[in-house]
Amino acid sequence: MAYWLMKSEPDVFGWDDLVAKGTSEWDGVRNYQARNFMRDMKVEDEVFFYHSRTGLEIVGIMEVVAPAHPDSTADDPKWVCVDVRAGQPLPRPVALDRIKADPALADMVLVKNSRLSVQPVTAAEWRHILTLGGLQS
DNA sequence: GCCAACGTTGGC
DNA sequence: GCCAACGTTGGC
């Protein structure tokens, strides 16, 4: 099983929107690198939900429930997306500032390539963030 | 709201 | 195939 992080602007589609919907397509990605990562995702992979532009924090966990398929909002079938389901929220959201200040997280793609909206997370990073977020003792 | 960083497009 | 112009993302 692999770990990932995906971003969305809460003004457009935030964590609460996903919770309300339950399951949703992660549509709208129009970047090849981000798309390729979604193609690599498998059902049951776990994904951090990050609020970009406003919030700037990891707020919850989602689970991949359907592998990459054509994005229904794209007019070109080359753009694909996965389906995700809301999992647990983080009791203490983990802010970008906190991540940047943590040597153990300094190599996260979130820090190194701030413009990539779909990115892999290592198992070590995943565990560390769960701890910071209050989900793991 | 600004703008730096980055990706894409298209003329040559 | 280069690179200038343009568009988008996202932190600040």
Q: Which amino acid is at A56?
A: L
- Scored b (16 or more CB within 10 A) or e, A8-39 reads bebeebbbeebeeeeebebbebeeeebbebbe
Mean pLDDT by 10 residues, chain A (137 residues): 97 97 96 96 98 97 97 90 98 97 95 95 97 88
| Nearest Cα to Cα of residue A39 among A63, A69, A4, A62 | A69
Q: Which nucleotides of C are covered by protein (CB under 7 A)?
A: 8-12
Whole-structure pTM value: 0.95
Question: Residue A113, exposed/middle/buried by CB under 10 A (0-12, 13-18, 19+)?
Answer: exposed
Residue A87 CA from chain centroid, whole number: 12
Q: What is the pLDDT of residue A137?
A: 58
What is the structure's pLDDT at A19? 98
Contact criterion met (CB below 8 Å) for A92 and A63: no
Interatomic CA–C1' length for residue A46 and nucleotide B10, angstroms? 40
Question: Nucleotide C8: nearest residue by CA–C1'?
Answer: A115
For residue A8, give the nucleotide whose C1' atom is nearest its CA.
C10
How much is the pLDDT for A59?
Answer: 98
Domain A3-133 has CATH 3.10.590.10: yes
Residue A60's pLDDT is 98
Instruction: Please give the Cα distance from A120 to A37 (Å, whole number).
Output: 7
Residue in A134, A131, A111 with CA at minimum distance from that of residue A121 = A111
pLDDT at residue A75, rounded to an integer? 83
